[in-house]
Copies of this chain bind each other. A is one copy, B any other.
Amino acid sequence: MPNRIGRYVIELPTRPEIISWGSAVGKTESEGPLAAHFDICYNTDKVCDGTWEECESQLAMDAINKAFNKAGKTFDDADIIFAGDLLNQCAASAFAVRSTDIPFAGLFGACSTMALSLALAALSVDSGAARLAGAAASSHFCSAERQFRFPLEYGGQKTPTSQHTVTGAGSVLVSDAKNGMPYVKNIMIGRIRDLGIKDANNMGAAMAPAASCTIADFLRDTGTTPADYDLILTGDLGVVGTELLHELMLTREQTDITDVHNDCGLMIYDTETQDVTAGGSGCGCSASVLTSVILKKIMRREYRNILFVATGALMSTTTAQQGNSIPGIAHAVQICMD
């Protein structure tokens, strides 16, 4: 039964286990440094015969299918699935989950969705509301470009601070079974932080204050320091946001996280050689990185204690065009391995 520690952290004493996970990615991700770790690597972003939006749904389905298959579970074994994405009305997730017939709680956390879905899935299992709960998130470069910026055919140029939306998806299954798998120790739902950034091509800057706030709150509530973690993994701050996070943590929180921090947006691409401007972003970024190399390393006990902090920018093209600033949020999940 969940138990609040400090002001914001929720401890999950039953230690719900992440019994399996699946990831599926597109072409650019399959050419990046994590290629060997993904379950499914497409050599194209056109991963099905349909539209870009249907391709995104396909990636989400692939990741969900993979997680169930690896665990030897059927959809009927699951009590609930939490999922979300960046598309208007979270359509990619709804169309992906539609065929599974699993009770579906749709989420919107922008690029923080993988942490939000995993946190709520783990909470459901810890509380007894679910025995087996799914979590998933997805994004697609081409559906995101069309929706948030310009159709690909337009050939728009990118600014150096902009990030490249990951074509990919990730899914995990959380269970009340005790099999010595990685488990969720603590979760934390983040608060919105908005320091007035209005540049929709600089999401890293918009999200860094939220990441800093969540990490600082989490450390304070749990009475831990960065040195207690093998890895503090942010969602998709990219090159610009990562620098800002380090600075904010140092100047505002007097905490140096540089030794244990990495960012999914930096890991998924080689920002030196791949044409991805300031790194990866999108719900699929932290989702696919967590459900590939990270959980693999936790299984191998290369990491025994990580803090996963996915970050999201809660804006729309409408709010940006209307001159509003970009609210940022970051949710945290502590994953451990005995």
Taking Cβ atoms with an 8 Å cutoff, the residues of A that contact B are 1-4, 8, 10, 51, 53-54, 79-80, 84, 86-91, 94-95, 97-98, 101-110, 116, 120, 123-124, 126-131, 147, 188-192, 194, 314-319, 322, 324, 327, 329
Contacts and interface: CB of A to CB of B under 8 A. Distances in A.
Contact of A315 (B91, B126, B147): B91
A46 B329 CA distance: 29
B128 A3 contact: yes
A288 to B, nearest CB: 21
Nearest to A313: B89
Contacts of A94: 192, 314-315, 327, 329
Contacts of A131: 4
Q: How many copies does the complex hold?
A: 2
B314 A103 contact: no
A61 to B, nearest CB: 13
Contact of A104 (B91, B123, B124, B191): B191
A84 to B, nearest CB: 7
Nearest to A2: B129
Contacts of A53: 318-319, 322
Given A120-B120, A123-B124, A126-B127, 17 more contacts: A1-B1, A51-B322, A88-B317, A89-B316, A94-B315, A94-B327, A95-B327, A98-B192, A103-B188, A104-B192, A104-B329, A105-B120, A106-B107, A106-B109, A108-B108, A127-B128, A147-B318
A51 B318 CA distance: 10
Given A95-B324, A127-B127, A104 B317 contact: no
B318 A87 contact: yes
Nearest to A112: B106
Given A106-B109, A116-B106, A192 B316 contact: no
Contacts of A102: 191
Contact of A314 (B80, B106, B126, B324): B106
A171 B30 CA distance: 45
Nearest to A13: B128
A159 B229 CA distance: 59
A4 B129 contact: yes
Contacts of A3: 128
Contacts of A54: 322
Contacts of A98: 192, 194, 327
A1 B319 contact: no
The 7 closest A-B pairs by CB, nearest first: A127-B127, A94-B314, A103-B189, A89-B316, A2-B129, A106-B108, A90-B108
20 contacts: A3-B128, A4-B128, A4-B129, A51-B322, A54-B322, A88-B88, A88-B89, A88-B318, A89-B315, A89-B316, A94-B329, A98-B327, A103-B190, A104-B189, A105-B116, A106-B108, A106-B314, A106-B329, A120-B120, A147-B318
